[in-house]
Amino acid sequence: MTTTTPTTTTPTTTRGCDPATAVTRSLLGWGAVAGPFYVAVSLAQASTRDGFDLTRHPWSLLENGSLGWIQSANFVLTGAMVAAFAVGLARAGAGRWAPRLLALYGAGLAAAGVFTADPMAGFPVGTPAGPAQAPSWHGTLHLAAGGIGFLAMIAACLVLGRRFAAGGLPGWALASRVTGSRSWPRSPASPPARRRPRCRSPPASSCPSAGSPRWPSTPTATPEPPPG
């Protein structure tokens, strides 16, 4: 007679990162998603909306017309992603002011989605050529939100550059400073420069911070004062 001995299998568990670290990494990941998301949604509309010309019209004008809600949602969602990224930076120990400034940038993007740009430059179809004749209150707030947001993003890049330099990461410091210095904002509703068409910088944190291998924390790295 043959007897069979039952065998038991002990489940193996794989230990991953702790929940807090997983949340921080997830939040930081939104910083990499925000820019491509905004650009993809904007270009998809620019290539399908009747009368929109990438060489003449800023992307903010896509907020107008019957499909304008798509671009408004694009601004709001992108701003939320940037804000999530800012929270991740704070959790990762990126100092005091860089996360705050990037959160302000995200808030500016979201506000630009709530307060729509004025029609101008022949878009939507039927709009007179040239700038808006009588700027509306929501168009004015759109410009203000965009301007404040971009200034906050520039300041965040410069703050991060200083922090990277203090932590012995000259490459990251240079990249952050160059990004900030080359991102001086033009008005979100102003027409592109006529000398050559170009796409705007994506409204996401372009500072090379999310991919940093480590956050420098040295005794000499003190909290940065607010810009201005």
pLDDT in tens, 129-164: 888 888 999 999 999 999 999 999 999 999 999 988
* Under 8 Å between Cβ of 85 and 91: no
113-144 residues labelled b (16+ CB within 10 A) or e (exposed): bebbbbbbbbbbeebeeeebeeeeeebebbbe
Contacts of 228 (CB under 8 A, 6+ apart): none
* Under 8 Å between Cβ of 104 and 155: no
Provide the mean pLDDT of the chain.
81
pLDDT in tens, 6-63: 555 555 444 557 899 999 999 999 999 999 999 999 999 999 999 999 999 999 999 9
d(CA 207, CA 198): 20
Tell me: pLDDT of 104 over 80. yes
* Under 8 Å between Cβ of 44 and 95: no
Which is higher by pLDDT, 56 or 205?
Answer: 56
pLDDT score at 185:
54
Tell me: pLDDT of 206 over 70. no
